[in-house]
Amino acid sequence: MAKVKGAIVIDKEACKGCEVCLAACPTNVISMASEVNGKGYNFAYPELKEECTGCANCAIVCPDGVITVYRAKVEA
Amino acid sequence: MAKELKLMKGNEAFAEAAIRAGSDAYFGYPITPQSEVIEYLMAERPYDRTGMVVLQAESEVAAINMVYGAAASGKHCLTSSSSPGISLKQEGISYIAGAELPCVILNVVRGGPGLGTIQPSQADYFQATKGGGHGDYRLIVLAPASVQEMADFVKEGYELAFKYRTPVMILSDGVIGQMMEKVMMFEQMPRISDAEIAEKYPWATIGKPKSRERNIITSLALKSDEMERHNIHLQAKYKTIEEAEVRVERIRCDDAEYAFVAYGSSARICQKAIEIARAKGIKVGLMRPITLFPFPKKEVELMTQKVKGILSVEMSAGQMVEDVKLAVNGRVPVEHFGRFGGNIPTPDEIVKALEEKIIGG
Amino acid sequence: MVFEDIIKTENLVYKKTSFMTDNTLSYCPGCGHGTAHRITMEVLEELGLAENTIGIAPVGCSVLAYDFMNIDMQQAAHGRAPAVATGVKRCWPDKTVFTYQGDGDLAAIGTAETIHACNRGENITIIFINNGIYGMTGGQMAPTTLPGMRSSTSPYGRDVETMGNPLRITELVAQLPGVSFVSRQAVHTPRNVRKAKKAIKTAFELQTQKKGTTFVEIVSNCNSGWKMTPVQSNQWMEENMFPFYPLGDIKVPEK
């Protein structure tokens, strides 16, 4: 049976670490990095990659538009 | 419409000329003594004649900002008001100058300060020629002395405004605005097409096609170096204007031993004063600045080689006289004579002032 | 298929629109302005209007909106954006024209321009960001600051006895016959963003149909001004702003 799986790319240098995407993710994919980017922000990154469904909620609420979302059907 | 001779009020001539000069829009707010401008336009239905927009705004502030928007999108637009209303417009005029937008602004000056009086005055010389609003900027200022010039300066105003991308003020007064005179009205000029705007004014914000970068109309530069560069650019433009666009009229100056410097209504009254003075044997001429900015500095300076003294005649407590003095730079005596607060000097008063302040002084 | 394998052009489902520039937004982390900018540009792109749109930026935090919106834009004097938009739209009736204004700009210094543009039914769209504070100048009291809310000019909380009541200008605008569509939305959750985008879309669609003024308020956060984290500010907004500024359509055109 086909299953939908997603992936996100977060532009870590553009991320301001506001954490709004964390609250928006229904499957808790995103975490905040302990290291900082060039601006000094702890940036968001997809930690639980396998859980991503590609719903795009994170990208939709990201004020800085730094998240790009992909989605594909994969055979289970 | 063809060229035609008409009998009109100065304000009406301005309004008719606005339509004939191919204006795209007029935005205004009523104030005495210039309300005939918008009244005439509304009655004439220029939207039927040429497609020109006429809108009565909620305030002078709104009207000048409508001009900002229309001018920023490449349109030929104008507004008009009288002194207190021009004070309100100054914020917007500063933005228009800063953003380098072309437009024509008519000021039919009345007496001030404050609510002042609805009678004629020339006490807005400072706010017209020295910037008026905040920041280092100048307007090109044209001073009509007849109903004919109220009409002609609309066309010339647009030419200058678009040539230099800068606001042009027509500094009139309650006399010129309200009086009726014959005027040869120029023939109807076509409005500029949308395609021509895109071609001739590549800076205009009319929607960004894929083929070019976005256009931005702004007067903001948060970085001080960038703002300084913009100011240097503006000053260079004003210098070019000062070198290229000075206009004066000289009346009976050839044999003059004394001179009046006067613009607008005062210049007309001075012509009668010249007759009276010359009948008394006083050889006096008149230099009438047509552009108040750029002020005819060199022309006034040159005059000092021939005349023994200069009387600056204004319907103000003495504003233009400062520029006359700067140009004369102490070479000959310069005095001011004015009636103000809505009063108009008589020719006799002017001759008397010449005799007392200059000849007898 | 592993995560990295999914990252291919053919699988793309969401990417920042090219009608937003690549300039880094000047807004604080978590500020709703960025989202509001983006969905406005997405709508213009989706409706095929972006290339014929002129946007008017205000004075306030979004004064530099023209650095971020990749369309032709003008920057207006404080509060004057609706008058500037009027000037553009009257001369270019077939172009799409919108203003993007904050609460200080739209509901204090620009009240007259707002009310009169709306009352004339200018065929423009007004996007109104209400975060109850003057953000750019450092968190002063706005016309929309809530009763008791602290700001740098109401450091002990807004005392309505001396400082007046917060202004629900959106409800006021909805009274005017020139206005066809008024909606109040938020952009702090995916659900809210989708609803806000739908409202903005309706607003621009009605503009293309020349239905008069359309007005979308976005109740937003100002975490810096409110002195909270972005996530806290969104929660505070839900608990405090939404009861006073309830979300939803306030005026829709008659069918």
* pLDDT tens digits for range A45-75: 999 999 999 999 999 999 999 999 999 998 7
With CA atoms as reference, the chain A residue closest to C4 would be: A7
CATH number at residue A10: 3.30.70.20
Q: Is C85 on the interface with B (CB under 8 A)?
A: yes
pLDDT at A3: 87
Chain A partners (3+ C-beta pairs within 8 A)? C
CATH number at residue B340: 3.40.50.920
CATH number at residue B178: 3.40.50.970
Confidence of residue B144 (pLDDT cuts 50, 70, 90): very high
**B-chain residues near C63 (CB < 8 A):** 220
Check whether B106 has a pLDDT greater than 70.
yes
For chain C, give the mean pLDDT: 97
* A60–C14 CB contact, under 8 Å: yes
Select from C72, C76, C113 the Cβ nearest to the Cβ of B207.
Answer: C72
pLDDT at A76: 61
**Alpha carbons A60 and A68: distance in angstroms, whole number:** 10
Residue numbers of the domain that contains A25: 2-75
* A20–C25 CB contact, under 8 Å: no
With both helix axes pointing from N to C terminus, report the angle between C111-119 and C81-91 in degrees, rounded to the nearest 10.
30
* C80–B65 CB contact, under 8 Å: yes
Q: How many domains does chain A have?
A: 1
DSSP for B214-276? PPEE-----SHHHHHHHHHHHHHHHHHHHHH---EEEES-TT-SEEEE--HHHHHHHHHHHHH
| B186 three-state secondary structure | coil
With CA atoms as reference, the chain A residue closest to C39 would be: A60
**Alpha carbons B301 and B307: distance in angstroms, whole number:** 10
* pLDDT tens digits for range B252-261: 999 999 999 9
Confidence of residue C46 (pLDDT cuts 50, 70, 90): very high
DSSP state of B32: T
**B-chain residues near C74 (CB < 8 A):** 68-69, 72-73, 99, 205, 216-218
Domain check: are B140 and B30 in the same one?
yes
* pLDDT tens digits for range C105-139: 999 999 999 999 999 999 999 999 999 999 999 99
Within a domain: B230: no
pLDDT at C3: 84
| B299 three-state secondary structure | helix
Within a domain: B206: no
Please list the alpha-helical segments (H only) found in B80-223. Answer: 83-98, 125-129, 147-164, 174-178, 194-200
**Alpha carbons A3 and B318: distance in angstroms, whole number:** 86
Domain check: are B178 and B252 in the same one?
no
* A63–C32 CB contact, under 8 Å: yes
Complex ipTM > 0.95 = yes
* C66–B77 CB contact, under 8 Å: no
Within a domain: B66: yes
The fraction of chain B above a pLDDT of 90, given in percent, is: 99
User: In Å, how far is B211's CA from the nearest CA of chain C?
Assistant: 10
Domain check: are B185 and B317 in the same one?
no
The fraction of chain C above a pLDDT of 70, given in percent, is: 100
pLDDT at A74: 85
Domain check: are B257 and B348 in the same one?
yes
pLDDT at A1: 63
User: In Å, how far is C241's CA from the nearest CA of chain A?
Assistant: 18
**Alpha carbons C199 and C241: distance in angstroms, whole number:** 19
**C-chain residues near A74 (CB < 8 A):** 1
CB B284 within 8 A of CB B259: yes
Domain termination residue (choose one: B195, B222, B239):
B195
Q: What is the mean pLDDT of residues C207-218?
A: 98
Confidence of residue C22 (pLDDT cuts 50, 70, 90): very high
* Distance (Å) of CA B42 to CA B61, C4, C122: 20, 67, 19
Q: Is A18 on the interface with C (CB under 8 A)?
A: yes
**Alpha carbons B332 and B359: distance in angstroms, whole number:** 12
Domain check: are B281 and B187 in the same one?
no
**A-chain residues near C40 (CB < 8 A):** none
Q: Is C70 on the interface with B (CB under 8 A)?
A: yes
| Count of CB pairs separated by less than 8 Å, B with C | 134
Q: Is C72 on the interface with B (CB under 8 A)?
A: yes
**Alpha carbons C210 and C212: distance in angstroms, whole number:** 6
For chain B, give the mean pLDDT: 97
Domain check: are B262 and B170 in the same one?
no
Confidence of residue C1 (pLDDT cuts 50, 70, 90): low
Q: Is B218 on the interface with C (CB under 8 A)?
A: yes
The fraction of chain C above a pLDDT of 90, given in percent, is: 98
pLDDT at B361: 67
Within a domain: B143: yes
* pLDDT tens digits for range B300-348: 999 999 999 999 999 999 999 999 999 999 999 999 999 999 999 999 9
User: In Å, how far is C130's CA from the nearest CA of chain B?
Assistant: 23
SS (H, E, C) chain C: CCHHHHCCHHHEEECCCCCECCCCCCCCCCCHHHHHHHHHHHHHHHCCCHHHEEEEECCCHHHHHHHHECCEEEECCCCCHHHHHHHHHHHCCCCEEEEEEEHHHHHHHCHHHHHHHHHCCCCCEEEEEECCEECCCCCEECCCCCCCCCECCECCCCCHHHHCCCCCHHHHHHCCCCEEEEEEEECCCHHHHHHHHHHHHHHHHHHHCCCCEEEEEEECCCHHHHCCCHHHHHHHHHHHHHHHCCCEEEECCCC
Q: Is B96 on the interface with C (CB under 8 A)?
A: no
**A-chain residues near C193 (CB < 8 A):** 60-61
Domains defined along chain C, listed by start: 3-251 (3.40.50.970)
**Alpha carbons C109 and C79: distance in angstroms, whole number:** 5
Domain termination residue (choose one: B195, B214, B232):
B195
Residue numbers of the domain that contains B40: 4-195
**Alpha carbons B27 and B54: distance in angstroms, whole number:** 6
Within a domain: B224: no
User: In Å, how far is B89's CA from the nearest CA of chain C?
Assistant: 11
Domain check: are B179 and B265 in the same one?
no
Other beta carbons less than 10 A from residue A2's beta carbon: 9
CB A41 within 8 A of CB C29: yes
* B92–C77 CB contact, under 8 Å: yes
Q: Is B226 on the interface with C (CB under 8 A)?
A: no
pLDDT at B242: 98
| H helix or E strand, kind and range, residue B279 | helix B264-279
pLDDT at C4: 86
Check whether B215 has a pLDDT greater than 80.
yes
pTM above 0.95, yes or no: yes
**B-chain residues near C54 (CB < 8 A):** 73, 205-207
Q: How many domains does chain B have?
A: 2
Within a domain: B150: yes
Chain C partners (3+ C-beta pairs within 8 A)? A, B
**C-chain residues near A56 (CB < 8 A):** 13-14, 190
